[in-house]
Amino acid sequence: MPPNTTATTGDKPGKSGRKKGRKARLIVLVLVLALIGGVAYGAYWSISTVRASFPQTTGSITLQGLSGPVDVKRDGNGIPQIYASSDEDLFMAQGFVQAQDRFYEMDVRRHMTSGRLSEMFGKGQVKSDEFLRTLGWDRIAKEEYDTKLSASTKKYLDAYAKGVNAYLQGKDGEDISLEYAALGFTNDYKPAKWTPVDSVSWLKAMAWDLRGNMQDEIDRALMTSRLGPQQIEDLYPEYPYGRNKPIVQEGQYSDVAKAFQQGGATSGSQGTTGTTGSSTSSTAGSALTSQLAGLYKVLDNVPTAVGVNGQGIGSNSWVVAGKYTITGKPLLANDPHLSASLPSVWYQMGLHCRTVSSKCQYDVTGYTFAGMPGVIIGHNGDIAWGMTNSGVDVTDLYLEKLSGNGYLYHGKVRPFKSREETIKVAGGKSKTIVVRQTADGMPLLSDRDDELVQVGRKAAVNTAAPDRGDGYGIALRWTALDPGTSMDAVFALDKAADWSDFRSAAALFDVPSQNLVYASTDNHIGYTLPGRIPTRSSVDDGSIPAPGWDSKYRWTGFIKQDELPYEYDPERGYIVTANQAVVDKDKYPYTLTTDWGYGTRSQRITDLIESKIKGTGKISTDDMRQMQMDNSSEIAKLLVPKLLKINLDDKNVREAQKLLEGWDYTQDADSAAAAYFNSVWRNVLKLAFGNKLPKELRVKGQCLWVDKIDNTGPVDDDAKVRECGQRDADQAQPDGGDRWFEVVRTLMDKPDSDWWKTPKSGTRPEAKNRDQLFARAMIDARWELTAKLGKDIDTWSWGRLHRLFLKNQTLGTEGPEFLQYVLNRGPWKLSGGEATVNATGWNAAGGYGVVWVPSMRMVVNLKDLDKSKWINLTGASGHAYSAHYTDQTSKWVKGELLPWSFSGKAVDASTSDTLVLKP
């Protein structure tokens, strides 16, 4: 053992520990036999290799640096509850325990955030590292640590790092995880010590994945090569405020609105809510088409931290006041929708001071990020909180007119700030790049791709733009590139005791901007929107890239925290956030974004709550759970009545059509009707919209004969060219999210719209109107499912199409096939679907496979916190073949929740293993 981590030898595991030990030995033996039985690597692997990294969970370990003993109590699912007598001991123990279970995941994350993946995985990650070095997340994180964060936050970060390093002390890679043992075949990589900045950098990665409408900004500009302004507007309809209610309906922003109305339009006022009305469309839109195609390819190579950024992905969180609950106290539910990962992005944990005092201030439990101290979402003894992504627009892309090593701004050439970055490459030569930034800190993203430089020299612009000179570049303005205080917010939330504390803590949460819902044991509920949200001039709504040479398009400031919307104890008795509009656009003076989620999930949750209130009048914890699992398809309710009226000649297609008769629109995994409807929906989108989009938005490898285009759009003749899609299947358009629900809903009353027209293809008939296109989609869907599921519709089910595969990060996706087999799990057949409350998302352009999920689910009972419930997507452990690698997944699939102990008595009753950390 390392000199400062000595195990006590006299301790014996209990009965449950012996059972788990036998199970682990059996699993490991099967694994090793499989490896030895025919895999080339097998000869090098052994039982000891696999077991070496499993954490010690009983007995005691001595850790230098602790001021007193710390108890780590794990339940039957391996979820730890930590008990300490000082804040520093508490967070040091958190670092040690998270490293025990998840250090490989933590190490990959910090290499991603610092642009150093090539050090672990070789030259294949260089492009990704170049882009991440250009963004400079770790540089900003260090500046935050040095200049922005409070002394207490830095003390906690230091303690956490000390705990991680205590775990690493004296360990080789194979002692830490199976993945390091695998890397050892090709790489001599050794994990370095953990630093406080490594933890802060993770918040930048989270902010990047939840950055708002940047993808829409790119897509709209790309669409200009084939679509006109009205067509693009058709594909980005207005938010349906009259049908899908915003979050804040009785909230505190009326004083701001009144002052705005009295004073007239000011800098940062509510701009155009359309998507093509900004004057940037003529100046920069066509110029950016080619550059943004290249930029997308660069962005696509960047690993996601916590989720896919794009339409359709989101989260649910809602809170119900005590007057409408069985307990008489509030209930709070949350389920963030993120990319499926193995292990899950979340790590469940309790952090408890034995006695809460000025020396030890925390008694909190919930979902943490491995690699970061504190609890992100959860509850303490007084309040509970949940989060969903607000989607506010905190990024803008700028077309920059380059001139030598400078750029044009306000009629003058300004020099770029520049720095060199050296990227070390495992098994290869290091590479040095130059990062350029504008005077106000915007990195020049186009420096990261040669194609972007070339097309910047060729891209067409109108006469309003300056002469291109050496070409155009693309720069990024993003709030997270400024140092902030989000790490302070985490600790402040964790010890908040009431609404005032909660609001003060939320104000520190500058990036990413999140919808925060609140409930308290003294019977209050609330909502607040924190974040550093920019204001823009009246000529710019942030919906498309802007001309960087024109000062009118620079940000004018930031919305003051006391002017951001919030709501406290609304009369209606509940608050729902599910990525819908925060406020009605006519009642708030600032543009938060032009790209809200369209409110399909939020309105369904609202309807379920109101239905329950009108029925029994009271809502239970299990009612909240059942709402989380609601599989109802809102787009099916709109389309199925129309589809059933379509006359079809082919008896086989009619047979499939009959599946929709009497269907209740519920997308259960065993539903044949759900399988057929979703295939029809996918084919409607493809025929009406997908085949008309530019290649940059379509699925990679899918090729079409299309009209030639020049710099002004499609050429008006019979010339055709073959164009193949360029986008990964899980990011292509139309993705089928609720924006597309709204597009189709708007066009339903225009049966002769050009969107419904599609040419003949092979034996498939031409469509000249809506009903003919629907008939064509029903035919295509019948034969698509015949190919995928068989001709016998009695064997069809949604779950056979809609499957979840969990893949271990890095080596589970790009490692040798045998290693992927060892690390990955699945498939699971899932219920739910796109824009349902049970949002098991799939991309309609790319296929039916699950691409994002409710990454966890929780329901907090503010009457009796020990009766709260929770579940994680995978398990506590990041160690393949640990009993807790995916032990929660099957329950998660079924919609089950685990007991969530909080009080000392409840934790003791659920404890299976106890480890004592001694000073």
Length of the chain: 919
To the nearest 10°, the Cα dihedral for 160, 161, 166, 169? 160
Work out the pLDDT band at 270, boundaries 50, 70, 90.
very low
Give the global pTM: 0.91
Average pLDDT of the residues in 95-112: 95
Tokens of 1: 């053992």
Residues 194-227 pLDDT 10s: 999 999 998 888 887 777 677 787 788 788 888 9
Cα 684 to Cα 15: distance, rounded to the nearest angstrom = 58
Q: Which amino acid is at 862?
A: L
Residues 567-599 pLDDT 10s: 999 999 999 999 999 999 888 999 899 889 999
Q: By percentage, how much of the chain surpasses pLDDT 90?
A: 66
Scanning 633-760, the segments in alpha helix (DSSP H) are 634-643, 651-657, 672-688, 738-747
Cα 319 to Cα 98: distance, rounded to the nearest angstrom = 30
Which candidate, 837, 829, 825, places its Cα nearest to that of 675? Answer: 829
851 burial (CB, 10 Å; 0-12 / 13-18 / 19+) is buried
pLDDT of the residue at 303 = 63
Which candidate, 385, 226, 389, places its Cα nearest to that of 312? Answer: 389
Among the residue ranges 20-24, 81-85, 152-156, the one predicted with the least confidence is: 20-24
Tokens of 253: 């922003």
Q: Which amino acid is at 875?
A: G
Cα 275 to Cα 691: distance, rounded to the nearest angstrom = 21
pLDDT of the residue at 707 = 80
Average pLDDT of the residues in 541-569: 89
For residue 8, the SS3 value is coil
Give, to the nearest 10 degrees, the angle between helix 621-628 and helix 600-615.
Answer: 150
Residue, of 287 and 255, whose pLDDT is higher: 255
- Using the 8-state DSSP alphabet, how is residue 883 labeled? T
pLDDT of the residue at 500 = 97
Beta bridge partners of 316: 335
Q: Within 10 Å of residue 249's Cβ, how many Cβ atoms?
A: 14
Preceding amide of 827 cis, omega within 30? yes
Tokens of 148: 């922005």
Q: Are strands 59-62 and 911-918 parallel, antiparallel or unpaired?
A: parallel
Q: Is the dihedral of CA 471, 472, 473, 479 positive or negative?
A: positive
Which candidate, 503, 495, 498, 505, places its Cα nearest to that of 524? Answer: 498
Residues 631-650 pLDDT 10s: 999 999 999 999 999 999 99
Work out the pLDDT band at 26, boundaries 50, 70, 90.
very low
Q: Which residues contact 64 (CB under 8 A, 6 or more apart)?
A: 4, 166, 919
The pair phi, psi for residue 876, each rounded to 5°, is -70, -30
Q: Looking only at Cα atoms, what is the longest distance across the chain? A: 86
Q: Is the dihedral of CA 169, 174, 177, 179 positive or negative?
A: positive
Work out the pLDDT band at 300, boundaries 50, 70, 90.
low
Which candidate, 817, 823, 919, 826, places its Cα nearest to that of 877? Answer: 823
Tokens of 172: 């080789």
Q: What is the 3-state secondary structure (H, E, C) of 535-546?
A: ECCCCCCCCCCE
pLDDT of the residue at 271 = 34
Cα 214 to Cα 394: distance, rounded to the nearest angstrom = 9
Tokens of 414: 């300004």
Q: Which residues contact 25 (CB under 8 A, 6 or more apart)?
A: 47
Residue, of 184 and 15, whose pLDDT is higher: 184
Cα 673 to Cα 661: distance, rounded to the nearest angstrom = 9
Cα 611 to Cα 599: distance, rounded to the nearest angstrom = 18
Cα 913 to Cα 919: distance, rounded to the nearest angstrom = 20
Work out the pLDDT band at 53, boundaries 50, 70, 90.
confident
The answer to whether residues 423 and 432 touch, using CB atoms and an 8 Å cutoff, is yes
